[in-house]
Amino acid sequence: MRFSRLFFSLLLATCACGYAADVTGNWLVKQESPDGNIRETYFDLKQDGTNITGAMRSVTFDRKIQSGTIDADGKIVLMMAGQNNRPGQRIQAKFVNGELRVTMPARGGGEEMTAKRAPAGAGGPPAKIEPPALHKVKYNGLAKTPPMGWNSWNKFAGRVTQEDVKGMADAIVSSGMKAAGYIYINIDDTWEGIRDANGNITTNKKFPNMKGLADYVHSKGLKLGIYSSPGPKTCAGYEGSYGHEEQDAKQYAAWGIDYLKYDWCSAGRIYKDEDMHAVYQKMGDALLKTGRPIVYSLCQYGRAEVEKWGPEVGGNLWRTTGDIRDSWDSMTKIGFDQDRLAPYAAPGHWNDPDMLEIGNGGMTDEEYRVHMSLWSLLSAPLLAGNDLRTASKEILQILTNREVVAIDQDPAGHQATRASKNGDLEVWVKKLADGGQAVGLFNRGGSAADMSVKWADLGITGKKKIRDLWKHADIPWTAEAYSANVPSHGVALIRLGK
């Protein structure tokens, strides 16, 4: 008995030791990327016994700690509040000898970082700048057909360099992509440096000469795109355009930029979704004011019914979804979910279901043909996201299939709608400028399937020319219906003409 009492008090004493160490305070984790960018994350913690409450302030969001614990060894587990009813992140840390080490969550790279004590209240979002009242921004006359080109994010993310971009400009020409219509070379996030003494945005060391790069890209008959955010920081934690919209637009024009992707990211710490319209309008005005033709690409993940006001802020395209991944599930979940947005696509103004993953290795060639067919039927921007310098012949054949590209680039600018769905089998139809139709028969199932589409259901009465756009072959006319055996995770794409 006496022994167990002794054991118990010892245990208590040990625990008391652990709890005595108080992690209460505002803590800052600074992560430096190889290009010199510093990403700051604050953990504002309050310890009460074994419980921890408080908040986390990252570059793109502020989140409350829903529940947090610290054990006798200083091991900390924080359950963050989620967004839109989704579960929040679980963050682990250690507090030993007055030192806090945090395992940074997902976007932070999963590495264990030492936090430093920071002044109370530091790390909050800057004061809100009211955007100007709503008005209609004039159409810039660009993107009469969906933009085509290449974007750095899907393949390179934060590793992209000026040399990669130059290499991609060379490859887009030598691979035949340019001849097929791919013109824009778009640099996504992580080119940004700090602001100079006059508040001008600079590039970081991965992009030593943006003007020179633009000249190089232009010399190849191509166009250069860039990326920013209406918030103080981009999604990767680089300098955004908040409070510098006109200045940045001017700088882009001076460099010779032809396309801007403008990504919501940390604007969400300052503004609500209902402010998006006015916030995007501000950059729309700024771009127009430069006098340079710059395609304006809105990226706010399809929130706040962007398709209804995208054109009014001068937007040429707007993302309709969260980020695509290089998987069949991600691609099909996005692609087959675009039906309701069809009425909003028109020349100059496009729904953007995100960039292509074709050639990145996560899908089969058959699945990538589905990706290409579906995006073309949807009149989606065709922005390749793979390394064009090393793309295989098969992948280039998918991306440069001119008959499929012609469906995407059809001048009437209609977006396909779902004509039928029977389990895993879906038929999508797009009206074409010449009075014809493009029809995709998609098999999302696990085994090959016989599919057919009746002419009557497409409103077709007389005999038509049928062209198989992947086989590059005319198909003899058959009365009543078109039938095909479609492979698993595959497509038959036909064009019906006169």
* Rounded Cα–Cα distance for residues 416 and 337 (Å): 12
Query: Is residue 451 near ligand GLA by the rule CB under 6 A?
Result: no
Q: Does 156 bind ligand GLA (CB under 6 A)?
A: no
- β 465-468/490-497 pair status: antiparallel
Does residue 438 touch ligand GLA according to CB under 6 A?
no
Q: Which two tokens stand for residue 95?
A: 């507090």
What's the min distance (Å) between Cβ of 414 and ligand GLA?
26
Least separation in angstroms between CB 356 and ligand GLA: 12
Are the C-beta atoms of 388 and 175 separated by less than 8 Å? yes
> 153 vs 318, which CB is nearer to ligand GLA?
153
Touching ligand GLA, residues 258-297 (CB under 6 A): 263
Site string for ligand GLA, 235-264 (x = CB under 6 A): xx--------------------------x-
Q: Classify residue 241 as exposed, middle or buried by CB count within 10 Å of its CB (0-12, 13-18, 19+).
A: buried
- In angstroms, the CA 474 to CA 467 distance is 4
Is residue 61 within the footprint of ligand GLA (CB under 6 A)? no
Please name which of 478, 456, 480 lies closest in space to residue 466, comparing C-alpha atoms: 478
Q: Interaction with ligand GLA in 171-200: which residues (CB under 6 A)?
A: 188-189
Element (H, E) at 253: helix 245-255
As given in the structure block, the two tokens for residue 60 are 């793109």
> Which of 104, 210, 299, 451 is in the footprint of ligand GLA by CB under 6 A?
299
> Considering the rule CB under 6 A, would residue 153 count as an interface residue with ligand GLA?
yes
Min. distance of Cβ 299 from ligand GLA in angstroms?
5
Q: What is the 3-state secondary structure (H, E, C) of 147-165?
A: CEEEECHHHHHHHCCHHHH
The least distance separating ligand GLA from the CB of residue 368, rounded to whole angstroms, comes to 19
Residue pair 332/366 in contact (Cβ under 8 Å)? The answer is: no
Site string for ligand GLA, 305-344 (x = CB under 6 A): ------------------x---------------------
Query: Which C-beta is closer to ligand GLA: that of 39 or that of 430?
Result: 39
What CA–CA distance (Å, rounded) separates 351 from 416?
12
> In the complex, what is the shortest distance from the CB of residue 67 to ligand GLA, in angstroms, rounded to a whole number?
28
Residue indicated by tokens 């960039």: 355
Can residue 70 be called a binding residue for ligand GLA (CB under 6 A)?
no
Q: Residue 133 CB, nearest distance to ligand GLA (Å)? A: 28
Hey, which residues does 431 pair with through a beta bridge? Answer: 437
The Cα 313–Cα 227 span in angstroms is 17
Binding range to ligand GLA, per CB under 6 A, among 34-42, 232-240, 396-404, 407-415: 232-240
Q: Of the ranges 7-15, 30-38, 46-54, 234-242, which one interacts with ligand GLA (CB under 6 A)? A: 234-242
Q: Tokens 């300052």: give the residue.
A: 270
Taking CB under 6 A as the binding criterion, the range among 88-96, 230-238, 284-292, 345-353 that sits at the site for ligand GLA is: 230-238
* Binding of ligand GLA by 160 (CB under 6 A): no
The residue (of 59 and 217) whose beta carbon lies closer to ligand GLA is 59
Applying CB under 6 A, the site for ligand GLA has a residue count of: 9
Q: Are 165 and 210 in contact (CB under 8 A)?
A: no
Binding positions for ligand GLA, 348-387, rule CB under 6 A: none
Q: Which residue reads 């097929």 in tokens?
A: 180
Active-site residue identified among 263, 285, 408, 410: 263
Q: Which two tokens stand for residue 247?
A: 């200045």
Nearer to ligand GLA, 351 or 437 (CB): 351
Phi, psi values for residue 175, rounded to 5°: -85, -10
Shortest CB 473 distance to ligand GLA, Å: 37
Nearest to 104 by CA among 190, 204, 22, 27: 27
3-state helix vs strand vs coil in the chain, percent to 5: 30, 30, 40
Among the listed residues 62, 164, 275, 323, the single catalytic one is: 323
Active site residue 263: yes
Q: Site residues (CB under 6 A) for ligand GLA?
A: 153, 188-189, 234-236, 263, 299, 323
